[in-house]
Amino acid sequence: MKRFFTKLSFIDIVNVYSLWVVLGSFVTFCFFSKIFGVTPDYVAGAVLALSIWIIYTADHLFDGFKLKDQAISMRHKLHFEHRKILLPLILFGFIACLLLVFGMLSKQYFRLGWFLCILTLIHFIINLAISKKYKNRLFLKEVFIAAVVTLGFSILPLTATLVYNWMSNLSIVVIAFFLLNLSNLLLFSYFDFETDEKSNFLSAAHVYGKEIALYITRIAITVSIVLIVYLIYKQDLSLLGGIIIVLMNCILLHISIYPDKYKQKGLYRFWGDFIYVIPAIAIPFL
């Protein structure tokens, strides 16, 4: 274990174990709760973050088992190498999640929560059971995952409130956030193109080409920013909340404009996932 930590930088550890994603899911859940005028439910946020860690870790472990010694990415190599530690941690996390869900979580979250579980299961089944040939035609994982993330981060906070209390132009906020999530995932498909190709993984960059994926990313970011600016102008979104979402988009835009700079040392993933932690600076003031 000592050898493991001395070889990895902080950026490596964060990227390999998706730490920004886990922390960011909790932060972003609370951020949207505040934006929508809902008191953040920290139990629901904790369940969401823990569930995401379990899903990400299980996914990387599965890929690590499938590739074994042929794994190219550091993420898959280390998940396979440390499987004896990670598997019990997943089991412990799963038990803790169940205890929170059935012991402390409001039942108002159950319907959407189970729906998200089903969508996640469908994602795994598609990846396991459907050949790459058909996935190329029928399934674009970046769009699917972006939709699930959008539901979990931004819609889940609303399930404990009545529909008539929802903010006006909610759909525009959700679309803007979906485009942000999609841009993030498309960027990863661009940067991971060579590694995915060697590992025989399918991504948007393989379906449409690297440069087209990058072009779509920039368009999606621009549209997301325009939608948020429109909501701020119409006073349907708080200025601070809007600025935070625009800032998240601007970081992704900067990554897409200077890909060579962010390709080094996994900086694209470090800062790409860090955007979900940024809302923490605004939560106390919303």
Give the tens place of pLDDT for each residue, 257-270: 999 999 998 999 99
Of 108-117, 135-144, 231-240, where does mean pLDDT reach its minimum?
Answer: 135-144
- Confidence label for 247 from pLDDT (cuts 50, 70 and 90): very high
pLDDT bucket at 1, cuts 50 / 70 / 90: very low
- CA torsion, ordered 277, 278, 279, 280, to nearest 10 deg: 70
Question: What is the C-alpha separation between 256 and 218, in angstroms, rounded?
Answer: 7
- Is the pLDDT at 93 greater than 50, yes or no? yes
CA distance 253 to 271: 11
**Nearest CA to 112 among 143, 150, 140, 146?**
150
pLDDT of the residue at 3: 45
Residue of 274, 224, 241, 252 lying closest to 24 (CA atoms): 274
- pLDDT at residue 29, as a whole number: 97
The pLDDT assigned to 63 comes to 82
Of 286, 273, 277, the closest CA to residue 13 belongs to 273
| pLDDT average, residue stretch 74-101 | 92
pLDDT at 62: 86
Of the pLDDT bands very low, low, confident and very high (cuts 50, 70, 90), residue 71 is: confident
Distance separating alpha carbons of residues 27 and 33, to the nearest angstrom = 10
Residue 4 in this model has a pLDDT that exceeds 60: no
Residue 103's SS3 state is: helix
pLDDT digits (tens, 9 = 90+) for 13-68: 999 999 999 999 999 999 999 998 889 999 999 999 999 999 999 988 888 888 77
Residue 5 confidence class, pLDDT cut points 50, 70, 90? very low
* C-alpha–C-alpha distance, residues 146 and 178, integer Å: 6
Say whether pTM exceeds 0.85: yes
**Residue 254 clears pLDDT 90, i.e. is over it:** yes
Q: Each residue of 209-219: pLDDT tens digit?
A: 899 999 999 99
